[in-house]
Structure 1
C-alpha cells in the first residue's frame, strides 16, 4: 500500500507553541504529545449512529487496530487511533484530516450528483457536505483540513461511455478546490480497484491496488451497497502504497 502523509502549516494563525522542528501548533489546539483516544470495539458497536454513518466494526489483526468498514454511500469520522477501510472501483473515497485537531474522516460516493429529491451519501455533493459537517461537529476546523482522494477507476471496458470514474474524480477535485481544502495526495483513475485504509488520528492512508478476476462483481457490489468484505474476497494481489 502507498503512504500519503503530509503537513499543513497555517500562516497567520496567531500565537503558537512548538510542535517539532520548525513547525508550530496554533493556540486552542490539543497538545500533540497527547496520544489519540482509543475506543473499545464494544463501545464502537454500541454507540448510536447517524443515517449514512458506517456501522460495521471489527478488529484488524494486521494493523492491530479496531476498524470501521465504509460501504458505498456511507461515511465515518473519528479522532480515535483506529482504521477506516473501504474498497473502491469507479467510486471515490475522500479522506479529510485536520492536522492540528487530529480528526479524520472518509466517505464513499458512487456518482457526482443525482435527482434533487434524492438526498443520499451515494452522491458526491451530499457526501462531501456530510463529511465536512460531521468533522466540524467533532471539533475540526475547515481552515486546517487537507484531503487525500482515491478511486475513480475504469473497472469495466463497457463503462467507457459513462466515464463514471472520470466524472467522480473531476467532481471531487473541483469541489475541494471550491471549498479551499488542499488535496495533498491522490491515487485515482487507471483500471484497478483499490482497497483504502485511512488512519484518522495521523492522516496517513494505505492503498492496495487489487487484481480482480471478476470486475462485474465489484461493480454490482458498489451498485447494491454490498459488503466491502465480499468485494475483498473477490480480489487478490497488488502492491501496498503508503500515502
Structure 2
C-alpha cells in the first residue's frame, strides 16, 4: 500500500472495475483492479491468499442508533450484510477456509466538521464486526479528514491508496449524504448470516 501521485506499474495496466456504494465484486483475474472512492464509507478488501481470489465492497452504515441496547443501530445490519456477502463469495470461489483470508480495510474519513462523525461510527462498526467474527485486518488506512481512492488487485492482494484533495472530498461527501438519504436498507430477516 502506498501514497503518491503516480500509480505503481501493476496498477497502471489491465482492466479496472469500479465498486460503487452498496456493491461488492469478487474475482481472481490477474489483470483486474477494483477501484473505489471513499469519504466516510468503508471498503474491505478480502482475499483468499491460497486461491488468489479476492474482492472489494463499499458500504455506509447511514444511521446511528438512539437505543442504548444496540451500539450501531439498524443500519449495522447493512454493514454486516455487506461484509458477509463479500466474505462468503470469496470463500465460495476460494478454498472455503477462513484461515486463508487476508483483510485490508479503508475509509471512514470525517468529511464534514458540521456533521456527526459518520466515518468514526463506520470504523467502530468495522472493528467490532471483525473482532466478533475472529478476523484481524493485516493492513488499514482508516479515519482522517480526507477522501481516498482505493485500488485493489484481487489476484495478488496488493492495495494502493491515494488521498484526494479537499474539493474532491467535498464532492464525495455530498454524494454519500445523497445516497444515504435515499437508502432503503435490505431486509436480512430471511438470511442467515454466518
TM superposition score category, shorter chain reference: 0.7 to 0.9
Q: Unaligned stretches of 5+ in structure 1?
A: 4-60, 226-243
1:108 to 2:29 alignment: no
> Which residue of the partner structure matches residue 228 of structure 1?
none
> Which residue of the partner structure matches residue 127 of structure 2?
173
1:75 to 2:24 alignment: yes
Q: How many aligned residue pairs are there?
A: 163
1:132 to 2:87 alignment: yes
Report the secondary structure of 1:95's partner residue: strand
TM-score by length of 1: 0.61
Q: Is the 8 A contact 1:154 1:165 kept in 2?
A: yes
Report the secondary structure of 2:135's partner residue: coil
Q: Could you say which structure has the larger radius of gyration?
A: 1
The structure whose RCO (Cα within 8 Å, separation 6+) is larger is 2
1: CA distance between counterparts of 2:101 and 2:49?
A: 7
Q: How far is 1:215 from its partner?
A: 4.1
1: CA distance between counterparts of 2:14 and 2:73?
A: 36
1:157 to 110, 113, 134: 113
Q: Is the 8 A contact 1:97 1:200 kept in 2?
A: yes
2: CA distance between counterparts of 1:78 and 1:62?
A: 16
- What's the CA shift string for 1:84-134, capped at 9, x where partnerless? 000000000011111111111110001176647x97xxx311100111111
Instruction: Check 1:62–1:98 CA distance in 2 against 1; reply closer, same or farther (3 A cut).
Output: closer
TM-score by length of 2: 0.76
Task: Compute the RMSD of aligned alpha carbons.
Answer: 2.5
Q: Which runs of 4+ in 1 moved over 3 A?
A: 112-116
Answer 1 or 2: which has greater helix percent.
2
1:93 to 9, 29, 43: 43
- What's the CA shift string for 1:160-219, capped at 9, x where partnerless? xx2211111111112112222221110000101000000000111000001122644212
